[in-house]
């Protein structure tokens, strides 16, 4: 994620929010509004009651680059930021036939910076935003997505 944000920053597609923000609806509202305006990826670095943490908002939404709206998705696949959507879909389709990426176990690195064991484990310490009023709770989502059936069954 750090490398991805650095690459987006090199393109001018990242904005850091240093003003204090709250995980209760505020971060979600700011992300939503900026997403609708095709703004750069937001990195919140001053989160009330969560020192040392950062929250990244909508890193895979449309890019702020007018001639490369699909840049973020393209870059996650190792493609040029200007790759058109049709080529991105073709690349994704080809990956279903590739062998899995081999597991790499590392002894040290950024992934080891935050380790909590036993009684230290408390998921409420992590600044997980409540995104929308009426949501069932604060949900973790690391660049994932869901495909779900709508209430009418379609």
The pLDDT mean for the chain works out to: 89
pLDDT tens for 85-138 read: 999 999 989 988 999 999 989 888 887 887 889 999 888 888 989 888 888 888
Q: Confirm if 96 and 69 have CB atoms less than 8 A apart.
A: no
The residues spanned by each domain of the chain are: 1-87+126-142
pLDDT band for position 143 (50/70/90)? low
pLDDT band for position 146 (50/70/90)? low
Task: From 81, 70, 61, select the one nearest 143 (Cα to Cα).
Answer: 61
The string over 76-85, giving b where at least 16 C-beta atoms fall within 10 Å of a residue's C-beta and e elsewhere, is: eeebebebee
What's the sign of the alpha-carbon dihedral 139, 145, 147, 149?
positive
State residue 6's pLDDT score.
96
């Amino acid at each position: 994620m750090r490398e991805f944000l650095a690459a987006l920053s090199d393109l001018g597609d990242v904005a850091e929010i240093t003003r204090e923000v709250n995980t209760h609806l505020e971060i979600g509202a700011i992300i939503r509004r900026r997403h609708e305006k095709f703004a750069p990826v937001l990195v919140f670095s001053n989160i009330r009651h969560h020192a040392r943490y950062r929250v990244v908002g909508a890193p895979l939404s449309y890019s702020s680059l007018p001639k490369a709206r699909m840049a973020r998705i393209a870059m996650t696949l190792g493609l040029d930021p200007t790759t058109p959507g049709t080529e991105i879909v073709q690349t994704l389709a080809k990956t279903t036939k590739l062998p899995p990426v081999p597991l790499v176990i590392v002894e040290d690195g950024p992934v080891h910076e935050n380790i909590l064991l036993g009684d230290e484990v408390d998921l409420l310490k992590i600044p997980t935003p409540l995104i929308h009023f009426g949501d069932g709770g604060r949900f973790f989502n690391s660049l994932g997505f869901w495909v779900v059936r709508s209430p009418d069954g379609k």
